Amino acid sequence: MSLGARVRTVLASVGGLGLALGGAVAPASAADGVPVTPTQLFNAYRHCSTDADRPTYVGAGSGLVVEGIPATTDPTGWTRVGVRYQVWPAGHPEQTTTVTRASATAGFESPATLPAEALADGQTYAWQAQTLAGDAASDWSAPCYVTIDNTRPANAPAVSSPNYPADTWNQGGEPVRFTLGAGGAGDVEGYEFSWQQDFPVIGTNIGDHGIPQPADPYADTRWFVRADSLGGPATLSLIPPGGSGPMTLWVRSLDRAYNVSAAASYTFRVASTAPTVTPAGPSPEFGKPATFRLRPNPALQAKSPVVAYSVRTLGGQDSGRTVEVPAEADGTASVELTLDGIYGERVEVSSRSANGWMSDAASWSITYDTTPTVTSQTYPENGTGGGVGVPGAFTFLPKVKDVVSYTYSFNGGDEVTVDAGAHHGAAVEWTPDTEGWCYLTVRATTASGIELASYDYYFTVAG
């Protein structure tokens, strides 16, 4: 999973093009106009902080990508320029490291990578940028301040829940309250959580002119929560992803540089909150509308009223289709379904409560025999009769209503379709030209166009 269409690695791959350590390197084609101080400064694709007391925390184990938009007073645009970056430990400008990007385009972000060996873990640094145009250079930008943090939180977070204990079955129906702790890691800024073992990636979208668009990950409350204080706890209220049985929440701590800790997990168990589903009549007829009554789990209804049901049918002509059914004030509901699965059908129903809780699914099923009945006096089923050249009549009768035709074949030959007659039955005549074992395959079709289940009728032609 990624929170950005183009993440930080995109620019890192081009950050080293045309770079040189040390003094100025003139662009290949000197620009016209006066160089202008770079704007739109970013470090590690995060905003520049010009407050020395509030530096941006970044990881720089592979170096630090810094960037800005160079410019000149030349109005033609697309001017080739250079960009120089300097970095030094805060309070020690005499320890400056310089990186120059020899070829850049005015008006576009021009990244460069400050070397990792110049950036000590835990140290705060200042860096700045200037535009180069031929032999001329702009004023330096105001310094940006970063603190290097290459060390992940030392401990996995602590996870607990006051209302869903880990060692027992819990009645579902209300959000799970979690308390997350830093596990003794004092630099934890927040937490990342997921109902699966995979976690989202913190990325940065890149906008027009290559300008990064950093976003606060903690604004996405589906995956992140900010700690109450640095190194402090956080609380969550979450609806499980659905169903019953064991549930596991995975959690990682994040420091200010978004380094992540080892993952912790919290597993608890939820008893079934499935509703009940029953047909209004004793046995719904194939292909005919039938009413089903839906009732909420009483314990679930007591915690938060059921407001709707999701009803899914499986095995019919619209297998997998889900319909939403609103509930009455008491949590009950009715739904009319037409069951037309040629072998049977299953109805699955889950409820949704006012607080967002989604229950596990209740299931009701029925089986149907939609094969036709086949009889023959001359050639009895699983018996021997007739003979070569002896015609035999075969009668087809339906087991379900509204049959309008039958499609049949002998011994896997070409299929033939005949219309149904009186009582929705049909009769055909067939004369064998060889003796021995034979079979007849027949299926019926209803007025609504449903092809029903096939029946294989076996018999032997006498020699």
Cα 202 to chain centroid distance, Å, stands at 16
- Pairwise CA distance, residues 280 & 294, whole Å: 10
Residue 376's pLDDT band, with cuts at 50, 70 and 90, is very high
Per DSSP, which regions of 12-109 are E strands?
19-21, 35-43, 46-47, 56-58, 64-72, 80-89, 97-105
108-164 pLDDT tens trace: 999 999 999 999 999 999 999 999 999 999 999 999 999 999 999 999 999 999 999
First to last CA, the chain: 71
DSSP state of 62: T
- Pairwise CA distance, residues 130 & 81, whole Å: 11
CATH number for the domain running over 373-461: 2.60.40.10
Check residue 74 and give its pLDDT: 87
Check residue 27 and give its pLDDT: 42
Question: Do residues 125 and 87 make contact, with C-beta atoms less than 8 angstroms apart?
Answer: yes
Residue 422's pLDDT band, with cuts at 50, 70 and 90, is confident
Residue 243's pLDDT band, with cuts at 50, 70 and 90, is confident
Beta pairing, strands 245-255 & 188-194: antiparallel
Check residue 79 and give its pLDDT: 87
Element spanning 11, H or E? helix 9-12
Check residue 17 and give its pLDDT: 36
Q: Averaged over 7-26, what is the pLDDT?
A: 39
Question: Do residues 152 and 255 make contact, with C-beta atoms less than 8 angstroms apart?
Answer: yes
Give residue 21's identity as a one-letter amino acid code.
L
Average pLDDT over the chain reads: 93
CATH class entry, domain 9-148: mainly beta
Check residue 11 and give its pLDDT: 31
Pick from 7-21, 257-271, 301-315, 381-395: least confident: 7-21
Check residue 32 and give its pLDDT: 65
Check residue 8 and give its pLDDT: 39
Q: Averaged over 347-363, what is the pLDDT?
A: 97
383-402 pLDDT tens trace: 999 999 999 999 999 999 99
The CATH number of 158-270, from 3.90.550.10, 2.60.40.10, 1.10.3720.10, 3.40.50.720, is: 2.60.40.10
Q: Which of 295-307 are b and which e, b meaning 16 or more Cβ less than 10 Å from the residue's Cβ?
A: bbbeebbebbbbb
Q: Averaged over 56-63, what is the pLDDT?
A: 97
Per DSSP, which regions of 174-273 are E strands?
176-181, 188-194, 205-206, 212-213, 224-226, 234-238, 245-255, 264-270
Residue 282's pLDDT band, with cuts at 50, 70 and 90, is confident
Question: Do residues 220 and 285 make contact, with C-beta atoms less than 8 angstroms apart?
Answer: no
Looking up tokens 């604004």, which residue turns up?
Answer: 219
DSSP state of 219: G
Check residue 78 and give its pLDDT: 72
The answer, yes or no, to whether residue 426 has pLDDT greater than 80, is: yes
CA dihedral 185, 150, 91, 45 (to 10 degrees): -110
Check residue 242 and give its pLDDT: 83
The answer, yes or no, to whether residue 30 has pLDDT greater than 50, is: no
List, as one string, the DSSP characters of 298-310. Answer: HHHHHHS-EEEEE
Check residue 21 and give its pLDDT: 52
Radius of gyration, alpha carbons of the chain: 37
What are the residue ranges spanned by the domains of the chain? 9-148, 158-270, 276-367, 373-461
Q: Which residues contact 290 (CB under 8 A, 6 or more apart)?
A: 279, 280, 281, 284, 336, 337, 338, 339
187-234 pLDDT tens trace: 999 999 999 999 999 999 999 999 999 999 999 999 999 999 999 999
Q: Averaged over 310-326, what is the pLDDT?
A: 96
List, as one string, the DSSP characters of 89-135. Answer: ETT-TTS-EEEEEEEEETTS---EEE-GGG--TT-EEEEEEEEEETT
The answer, yes or no, to whether residue 184 has pLDDT greater than 50, is: yes
Question: Do residues 240 and 360 make contact, with C-beta atoms less than 8 angstroms apart?
Answer: no
Fold of 276-367: Immunoglobulin-like (2.60.40)
The reply to whether domains 158-270 and 276-367 share a CATH topology is yes
Q: Averaged over 68-96, what is the pLDDT?
A: 93
DSSP state of 343: S
Q: Which residues contact 449 (CB under 8 A, 6 or more apart)?
A: none
Which has the closest alpha carbon to 300: 257, 358, 251? Answer: 358
- For CA atoms 300, 296, 363, 335, the dihedral sign is negative
Q: Which two tokens stand for residue 308?
A: 């709707």
Q: Averaged over 65-83, what is the pLDDT?
A: 91
Q: Which two tokens stand for residue 98?
A: 């310089």
